[in-house]
């Protein structure tokens, strides 16, 4: 099937990137469990290695199953190309890698997945990179944080642990004016609820571990390029605009145009960082994507019902879900994610830290795990787990205060989930 803008999302999530196997006619995308690919002859091999011809060499760089997934995600996000990798965290490093060099910084939202805060505030320093954290609702603070060494702006569309919606259009107009790429982590929204490129994002990153795969089976990541950024407008992005010594002085932007970032991600990023997605993982994610829209709609509908119920309960202090009228992001979510506010929110209990621990222990259908975006409902006390490495100030800024529990609503019967929450709330009193 030819992919075209005429097809709807539900059609593309099943068909984009896949064709019947040319050898066997297999209708489902085969798992190409092969490390290497035979060259037609020595000239073919040479032209592949010179990037003069696109083809398969070695599965650290490209694999036919992974390629189908890349094309499918790029299509769903409205990008020109995508590179899959081993995890969401790998995707973040892979996205920053062509942009940054020692001394450079990324401006990041304070409202991020806890692991990303740790990666950005601690680990990237080992590369000589740094992050400046800013409240992305304070547009002046964002403008003021940008300096001559800034190379990217980074945020999440629906920010983990839930309830916060980023005004992507306002943020992208600032990054655009500053001549900087905007990277949006779209893990918790998925392209069904939000397509950040339509709001001006340059790059979209994913932890495909979560909703994109949807069943809690494999870790994976993806970097999608909008193809819209001019990497040669100034001297800030030499990896993309200047000659690459390891490819005989090839300039990625000049040679590959809109696909420069994608080609660099494979030919340099995967080649040298080696954060490769394996074909089994790509298979599971392809299976998951076939039902993405159905699942995300159910996640969102369930979450709205359950958040509304929770908000009425006596022992509950607050529920942060952008789909609720009480949320300061209620109007913004209608603009950024018109189909629903996703499956993720937090609930603050009046009983504090101890009450949260009892609540989490008493739940039966909900599993207490460090994951989100599964078909089954999940819960976690973030202050004692995912956000444990952060200071209390950072925890509060990230929406993970000590009396807060993060809930990832699954696609079970909402009545059963409410009954489970009800008994756990009384056990937590």
Ligand X SMILES: *Cc1c(COP(=O)(O)O)cnc(C)c1O
Three-class SS string for 296-327? HHHHHHHHHHHHHHHHCCCCEEEEECCCCCCC
Q: Which is nearer to ligand X, 86 or 172 (CB)?
A: 86
Q: Which is nearer to ligand X, 185 or 420 (CB)?
A: 185
Interface residue with ligand X among 79, 81, 88, 279 (CB under 6 A) is 88
The gap from C-alpha 299 to its chain's centroid, in whole angstroms, comes to 17
Q: Which is nearer to ligand X, 77 or 185 (CB)?
A: 185
Q: Which is nearer to ligand X, 142 or 218 (CB)?
A: 218
CA–CA dist 113, 108 (Å, integer): 11
Q: Which stretch binds ligand X (CB under 6 A): 162-170, 203-211, 322-330, 374-382?
A: 203-211
- Per the structure block, which two tokens stand in for 56? 């398969």
Is residue 156 within the footprint of ligand X (CB under 6 A)? yes
Interface residue with ligand X among 97, 113, 120, 229 (CB under 6 A) is 113
Q: How far is the CB of 134 from ligand X (least distance, A)?
A: 18
According to DSSP, the β-strands at 158-159 and 164-165 are antiparallel
CA–CA dist 220, 276 (Å, integer): 9
Q: Which is nearer to ligand X, 188 or 395 (CB)?
A: 188
Q: Which is nearer to ligand X, 183 or 401 (CB)?
A: 183
Q: Which stretch binds ligand X (CB under 6 A): 207-215, 279-287, 316-324, 353-361?
A: 207-215
**# residues contacting ligand X (CB under 6 A):** 17
Is residue 299 within the footprint of ligand X (CB under 6 A)? no
Q: Which stretch binds ligand X (CB under 6 A): 164-172, 184-192, 307-315, 405-413?
A: 184-192
Interface residue with ligand X among 18, 67, 121, 209 (CB under 6 A) is 209
Is residue 63 within the footprint of ligand X (CB under 6 A)? no
Q: Which stretch binds ligand X (CB under 6 A): 20-28, 47-55, 85-93, 393-401?
A: 85-93
Is residue 166 within the footprint of ligand X (CB under 6 A)? no
Q: Which is nearer to ligand X, 300 or 355 (CB)?
A: 300
The gap from C-alpha 55 to its chain's centroid, in whole angstroms, comes to 27
Interface residue with ligand X among 17, 81, 98, 115 (CB under 6 A) is 115
Is residue 346 within the footprint of ligand X (CB under 6 A)? no
Q: Coil, strand, or helix at residue 335?
A: helix
Q: Which is nearer to ligand X, 159 or 360 (CB)?
A: 159
Q: Which residues sit at the interface with ligand X, rule CB under 6 A? A: 87-89, 113, 115-116, 156, 160, 185, 187-188, 207, 209-210, 219, 221, 372
């Amino acid at each position: 099937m030819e992919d075209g803008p005429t097809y709807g999302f539900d059609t593309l999530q099943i068909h984009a990137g896949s064709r019947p196997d040319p050898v066997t006619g297999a209708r489902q995308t085969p798992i190409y469990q092969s490390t290497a690919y035979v060259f037609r002859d020595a000239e073919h091999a040479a032209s592949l290695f010179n990037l003069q011809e696109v083809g398969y060499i070695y599965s650290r760089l490209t694999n036919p199953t992974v390629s189908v997934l890349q094309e499918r995600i790029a299509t769903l996000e409205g990008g020109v190309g995508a590179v899959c990798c081993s995890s969401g965290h790998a995707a973040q490093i892979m996205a920053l890698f062509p942009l940054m060099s020692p001394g450079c910084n990324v401006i990041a939202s304070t409202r991020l997945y806890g692991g990303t805060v740790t990666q950005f505030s601690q680990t990237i320093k080992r590369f000589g990179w740094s992050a400046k954290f800013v409240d992305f609702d304070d547009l002046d603070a964002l403008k003021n944080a940008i300096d001559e060494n800034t190379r990217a702006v980074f945020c999440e569309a629906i920010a983990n642990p839930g309830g916060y919606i980023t005004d992507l259009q306002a943020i992208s107009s600032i990054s655009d004016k500053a001549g900087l790429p905007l990277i949006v982590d779209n893990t918790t929204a998925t392209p069904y609820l939000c397509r950040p490129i339509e709001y001006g994002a340059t790059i979209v990153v994913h932890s495909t571990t979560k909703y994109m795969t949807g069943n809690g089976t494999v870790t994976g990541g993806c970097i999608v390029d909008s193809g819209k950024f001019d990497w040669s407008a100034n001297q800030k992005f030499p990896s993309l605009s200047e000659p690459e010594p390891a490819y005989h002085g090839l300039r990625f932007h000049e040679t590959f145009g809109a696909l420069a970032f994608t080609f660099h991600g494979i030919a340099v990023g995967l080649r040298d960082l080696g954060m490769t997605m394996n074909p089994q993982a790509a298979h599971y994610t392809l299976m998951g994507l076939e039902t993405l829209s159905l699942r995300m709609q159910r996640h969102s509908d369930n979450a709205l019902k359950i958040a509304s119920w929770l908000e009425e309960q006596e022992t509950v202090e607050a529920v942060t879900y952008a789909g609720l009228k009480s949320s300061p992001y209620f109007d913004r979510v209608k603009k950024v994610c018109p189909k629903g506010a996703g499956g993720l929110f937090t609930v603050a209990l009046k009983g504090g830290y101890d009450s949260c621990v009892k609540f989490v222990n008493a739940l039966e259908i909900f599993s207490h795990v460090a994951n989100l975006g599964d078909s089954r409902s999940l819960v976690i006390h973030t202050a004692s787990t995912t956000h444990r490495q952060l200071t209390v100030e950072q925890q509060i800024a990230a929406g993970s205060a000590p009396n807060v529990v993060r809930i990832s609503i699954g696609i079970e019967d909402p009545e059963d989930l409410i009954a489970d929450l009800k008994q756990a709330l009384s056990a937590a009193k």
